[in-house]
């Protein structure tokens, strides 16, 4: 065994002395058990009836639901009915679901992130955020989810890829646990993840280039210009179109992920959900010494206005995220950006 089990980790160290530690531990344990059930479904692929089929309906946020989206949501909802969670806020439901108003925690979750990739055998995942209950959960069930990400007690994601892994933070660093069939448990594989600061990779969907605002175009133009450009360095582009897979790669190898706002209808405020996607990802990345913004502002300081609010999301190596922000605030602040490159780009004449 390369490290301690998830259960042992949750019961040890200074975290065990924090408020709600026992409730948080029980919740993470329940999520882990539900993730095992989701994993069983994903490994069977198309052998599961209706595995990748669309339900012909949209969720509350306008995305087409897959059958497995709904099944995963049901599995996680049922799992946390037996732990100290008062409220369940999910991508698949219009509003928060009240479970037990006397419990101390609220769980925000994307039960199956990246489900559009199900049939193509690309890694998908489950993203979650654990928050303290605020206000009266019986009369204002959504209120607990309208807290800035700085209030998160824990966050993480499961990734259903070549390994079933849990990336987790309790506010004391970011750790990665991999499920071991030999030991029948999640075993710690990385006890102190730190985003490499100098990676030469960026992740963005370049097919949307024509829709981006000028600062994003300039940043990507300079990356594509390579060693002959103002960055004086060659870059590689990566884009998996699975948030958990892109985040996992950046935690291990560094780089930067960009999903900016753009000019398309419905994309003006970004597309990543703040409460149950951007906030937990930002918490994990910051605890691994990286950074996460909405292009300029720190993600964790944004106060949500609704459970399903969308935001732009830029995260990864801290210096790279900060550079993206400088392109937005004032491109002239980038001292090495020569005028030679200021008015031309790879995709422009």
Is position 140 annotated as part of the catalytic site?
no
Distance CA 90, CA 75 (A): 12
What's the pLDDT score for residue 155? 98
DSSP letters of 276-315?
IIIHHHHHHHHHTT-EEESSSSBGGGPPPSSTT-EE-EEE
277 is an annotated ligand-binding site residue? yes
Q: Tell whether 207 and 173 lie within a shared domain.
A: no
**For position 49, what pLDDT does the model report?**
60
Q: Which pLDDT score, from 0 to 100, does residue 17 have?
A: 77
Separation CA 67–CA 297 (nearest Å): 36
Quote the pLDDT of residue 342.
44
Q: Which one is catalytic: 73, 142, 262, 277?
A: 277
Mark which of 190, 220, 254 sits at the end of a domain. 190
Same domain, 308 and 165: no
- What total of structural domains would you count in the chain? 2
pLDDT of residue 59: 55
348 CB-near residues (< 8 Å, 6+ apart):
none
Please tell me whether 100 is known to bind a ligand: no
Instruction: Identify whether 92 is a catalytic site residue.
Output: yes
CATH number of the domain that residue 288 is part of: 3.40.190.80
93 annotated as ligand-binding? no
Report whether 113 belongs to an annotated binding site: yes
In a domain, 348, yes or no: no
Alpha-carbon span 112 to 314, nearest angstrom: 21
Find where tokens 């780089």 sit: 255
Domain boundary among 190, 212, 236: 190
Domain of 215, in residue numbers: 201-341
336 and 288 in one domain?
yes
DSSP 275: I
For residue 61, indicate whether it is catalytic.
Answer: no
Q: Catalytic annotation on 305?
A: no
Instruction: Tell me the whole-structure pTM to 2 decimals.
Output: 0.92
**Residue 72's domain is classified under what CATH number?**
3.30.540.10
Same domain? 64 vs 31: yes
112 is in an annotated binding site: yes
Per the annotation, does 136 bind a ligand? Answer: no
Phi then psi for residue 263, to 5 deg, are -85, -5
Q: How far is CA 22 from CA 12, 31, 35, 185, 232, in A?
A: 11, 14, 20, 19, 51
228 and 156 within one domain? no
| pLDDT averages per 10-residue partition of the chain, 349 residues | 85 80 97 96 74 55 73 96 97 96 98 84 95 96 98 98 96 97 94 93 97 96 94 94 97 98 96 98 98 98 98 97 94 54 39
Q: How many helices (H) and strands (E) does the chain have?
A: 7, 17
Check if 110 is active-site.
Answer: yes
Report whether 150 contacts 274 (CB < 8 A). Answer: no
Do 233 and 279 belong together in one domain?
yes
Q: Among residues 67, 73, 113, 262, which one is catalytic?
A: 113
**Residue of 91, 188, 262, 294 with catalytic role:** 91
- Kindly state whether residues 18 and 127 are assigned to the same domain: yes
Q: Which of 73, 92, 201, 286 is catalytic?
A: 92
User: Which of 22, 37, 61, 63 is labelled catalytic?
Assistant: 63
- Told to judge if 168 belongs to the known catalytic residues of this protein, a careful annotator would answer no
Q: Any known ligand binding at 110?
A: yes
> In terms of domains, do 86 and 180 share one?
yes
């Amino acid at each position: 065994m390369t490290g301690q089990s998830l259960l042992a980790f949750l019961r040890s160290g200074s975290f065990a002395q924090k408020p709600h530690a026992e409730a948080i531990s029980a919740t993470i344990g329940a999520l882990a058990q539900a993730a095992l059930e989701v994993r069983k479904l994903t490994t069977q692929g198309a052998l599961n009836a209706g595995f990748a089929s669309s339900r012909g309906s949209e969720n509350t946020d306008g995305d087409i639901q897959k059958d497995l989206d709904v099944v995963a949501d049901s599995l996680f909802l049922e799992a946390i009915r037996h732990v100290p969670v008062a409220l369940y806020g999910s991508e698949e439901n219009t509003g928060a679901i009240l479970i037990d108003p006397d419990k101390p925690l609220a769980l925000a979750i994307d039960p199956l992130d990246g489900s559009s990739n199900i049939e193509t055998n690309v890694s998908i995942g489950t993203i979650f955020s654990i928050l303290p209950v605020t206000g009266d959960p019986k009369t204002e069930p959504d209120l607990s989810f309208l807290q800035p990400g700085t209030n998160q007690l824990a966050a993480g994601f499961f990734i259903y890829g070549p390994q079933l892994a849990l990336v987790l933070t309790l506010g004391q660093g970011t750790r990665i646990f991999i499920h071991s069939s030999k030991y029948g448990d999640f075993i710690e594989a990385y006890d102190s993840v730190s985003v490499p600061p100098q990676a030469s990779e960026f992740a963005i969907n370049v097919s949307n280039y024509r829709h981006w605002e000028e600062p994003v175009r300039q940043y990507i133009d300079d990356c594509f210009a390579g060693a002959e450009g103002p960055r004086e360095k060659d870059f590689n582009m990566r884009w998996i179109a699975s948030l958990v897979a892109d985040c996992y790669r950046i935690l291990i190898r560094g780089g930067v992920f960009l999903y900016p706002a753009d000019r398309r209808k419905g994309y003006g405020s970004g597309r990543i959900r703040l409460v149950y996607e951007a906030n937990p990802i930002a918490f994990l990345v910051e605890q691994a010494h990286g950074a996460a913004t909405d292009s300029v502002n720190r993600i964790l300081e944004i106060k949500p206005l609704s459970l399903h609010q969308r935001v732009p999301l830029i995260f990864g190596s801290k210096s790279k995220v900060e550079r993206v922000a400088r392109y937005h605030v004032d491109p002239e602040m980038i001292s090495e950006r020569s005028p030679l490159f200021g008015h031309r780009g790879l995709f422009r004449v």
